[in-house]
Amino acid sequence: MSSLRGLLSSSLSQSPSSSMFLSSSPTIEMFPLCTYKRPTYDHRVSRTSLSYAQRRLLGIPRKHRNALWLSFCPNQELCRPHCSCNLRDKNNLARYTVVRCKHAATGSAGDSHSLSADLKMESEVRGACFYAVTAISAIFLFVLMLVGHPFVLLLDRHRRKFHHYVAKVWASLTVAPFYRIKFEGLENLPPPDTPAVYVSNHQSFLDIYTLLTLGRSFKFISKTGIFLFPIIGWAMFLLGTIPLKRMDSRSQLVYFRN
């Protein structure tokens, strides 16, 4: 899995299903938060020319499988760990992307075939390890959450800082062996107690880990299906995540009231 660089910048959320965090106060500020994990190729690639391994390497989420094309700006210094590229989707929206990718020096237009077999294997192994680490750590930490839950309900029913701390540990443990998160613009965040709405572009599920490492006691808004995931869904319930039935306008009203 490629590295990820978290951006706290003025980019706009592109996806209607972005993760959002809502405060109950009438004075609300909004903070767009973008996370990307896009490695780099210095040539234009069409969707049809991308192998499975390349799509995994590029970190293209399922929802962008209909993207017409991806344009990666030529970068003269591919060996540098930081590269930039633009991602355009079918609506022709350009997205500024910054990545830190150890594969940056390996990609070229000519060797995509030999590259793809190696990368497929590597990305499969890395993916399996990632899920193993995140699942095993979640099991142990969920038990901790469960034990602490009565105290959380008694002492800190709304913010649930203890649960958020456990979730932060979980996210940090999961992420640490696989990629480094670099935050930019943290100084633009309001103080932790200031009511705010955080808007993430939700380019992939990795933004959840990134957001949790912020250490803020926010509430995710999530589609209800995710609550059915074992351990993670239960932990979301303990965290006080707000469920949203996306096609149900009444459910949307309920979460705005909350």
Ligand X SMILES: CCCCCCCCCCCCCCCC(=O)OC[C@@H](O)COP(=O)(O)O
Positions that interact with ligand X (CB under 6 A): 17, 19, 63, 138, 141-142, 145, 166-167, 170, 202, 208, 220, 222-223, 226, 232, 235-236, 239, 241
H or E, element range at 94 = strand 94-100
The nearest distance, CB 104 to ligand X, in angstroms, is 28
- Comparison of 162 and 179: residue with beta carbon closer to ligand X: 162
- Comparison of 75 and 252: residue with beta carbon closer to ligand X: 252
78-100 b/e (C-beta count within 10 Å ≥ 16 → b): beeeebebebebeeeeebebbbb
Q: Beta partners for 7?
A: 34
- Comparison of 44 and 65: residue with beta carbon closer to ligand X: 65
Paired tokens of 145: 């959450």
The nearest distance, CB 204 to ligand X, in angstroms, is 9
The nearest distance, CB 246 to ligand X, in angstroms, is 8
Q: What is the DSSP string of 146-194?
A: HHHHHHHHHH-TTT-HHHHHHHHHHHHHHHTTT-------GGGSPPTTS
The nearest distance, CB 66 to ligand X, in angstroms, is 13
Expressed in angstroms, the distance from the first to the final Cα of the chain is 36
With 0-12 / 13-18 / 19 or more C-beta atoms within 10 angstroms meaning exposed / middle / buried, residue 156 is: middle
H or E, element range at 122 = helix 112-155
* Beta pairing, strands 5-7 & 29-36: antiparallel
- Comparison of 43 and 229: residue with beta carbon closer to ligand X: 229
The nearest distance, CB 169 to ligand X, in angstroms, is 8
- Comparison of 96 and 229: residue with beta carbon closer to ligand X: 229
- Comparison of 115 and 239: residue with beta carbon closer to ligand X: 239
The nearest distance, CB 79 to ligand X, in angstroms, is 34
